[in-house]
Amino acid sequence: MKIKSTCYFVVATVVFLNLAACSTIKTWFPDKERDYQFTTEIPPLILPPDLAGDGVVKPRIAPVIETAKPERTAPVIETVPAIDRKAVQLELVDADQDTKRLRIGASSATAWRLIGKALSRKSLEVTNRSQEAGLFHVQYDPNKKDMEDDSIWDEIDFALSGFKVTEQEYVLKLLDNNQQTDLIILDKDQKPVTDSASLKLLTLLHDTIKADLAK
């Protein structure tokens, strides 16, 4: 009896070990067929229009927006009319308060250019100018002499006089006068000048402009 009990115990142990081994093996190799039964169907893939058809990717081209191009306008070039030199008349005339004025037979624009050129030729310093107001502010010395190249004494006198400040400020004002232009000389306070220096300055401008027109 003891032998049979031992045999039954051995058989039971072997069966138990076999069952445990099978369950362990099943965990290592799961049932794929059972998993497949519980799967769901994947929805079909929707392709964008670029990939539809022949499968070639078509580049997207941004729409071209046309903008209005600004119109190019030619630059405006102001031209100064040529001066008829023979038609321009110059004369010194009497004015109010025993003063003189230089009358130029031309428009104020032409007279402005002629006077500016004459001041430059005589090296008169222009401290301020306004064409709109018709004014030249100049420094003028009526006693200044032109230096001669062949005179040594003139060079010495010119060097010594360079340290003396004898120039005075004068204002040249242009006035329209019936298609002509009158030039008058004022002091720094905008008052007419009646001294001999103003007449000398007007005469200097008259002679310089006349010589320029004769060329």
Computed over every residue of the chain, the mean pLDDT equals 74
Please report the pLDDT score of residue 90 as a whole number. 93
108 domain residue, yes or no: yes
Q: How many domains does the chain have?
A: 1
99, 137 contact by CB (below 8 A):
no
95 domain residue, yes or no: yes
Mean pLDDT for the stretch of residues 84-88: 77
The pair of structure tokens assigned to 162 is 């360079």
Determine the residue type at 8: Y
Q: pTM (2 decimals)?
A: 0.56
pLDDT category at 12 given cuts 50, 70, 90 is: low
Residue with tokens 């006198």: 157
H-helix segments, 122-195: 152-161
In terms of average pLDDT, the best of 36-50, 95-109, 163-177 is 95-109
Residue range(s) defining the domain that contains residue 119: 85-213
CATH code at 151? 3.30.310.170
- Pick the range with the lowest mean pLDDT from 24-38, 69-83, 114-128: 24-38
Whole-Å CA distances, 123 to 50, 117, 139: 82, 10, 10
Q: The sheet that has 90-94: what strands, in order across it?
A: 90-94, 100-104, 181-186, 168-176, 135-140, 125-130
Percent of the chain with pLDDT over 90: 35
Q: What is the DSSP letter of 97?
A: G
36, pLDDT greater than 50:
no
Residue with tokens 């070990």: 17
pLDDT tens track for 150-181: 556 656 655 555 545 578 899 999 999 888 99
Q: Let me know the angle formed at the C-alpha of 136 by 180 and 184, rounded to the nearest 5 degrees.
A: 45
Please report the pLDDT score of residue 84 as a whole number. 72
In terms of average pLDDT, the best of 40-54, 71-85, 105-119, 177-191 is 105-119
152 domain residue, yes or no: yes
129 domain residue, yes or no: yes
156 domain residue, yes or no: yes
113, pLDDT greater than 80:
yes
Residues 186 and 100: their CA atoms lie apart, in Å, by 11
pLDDT category at 53 given cuts 50, 70, 90 is: low
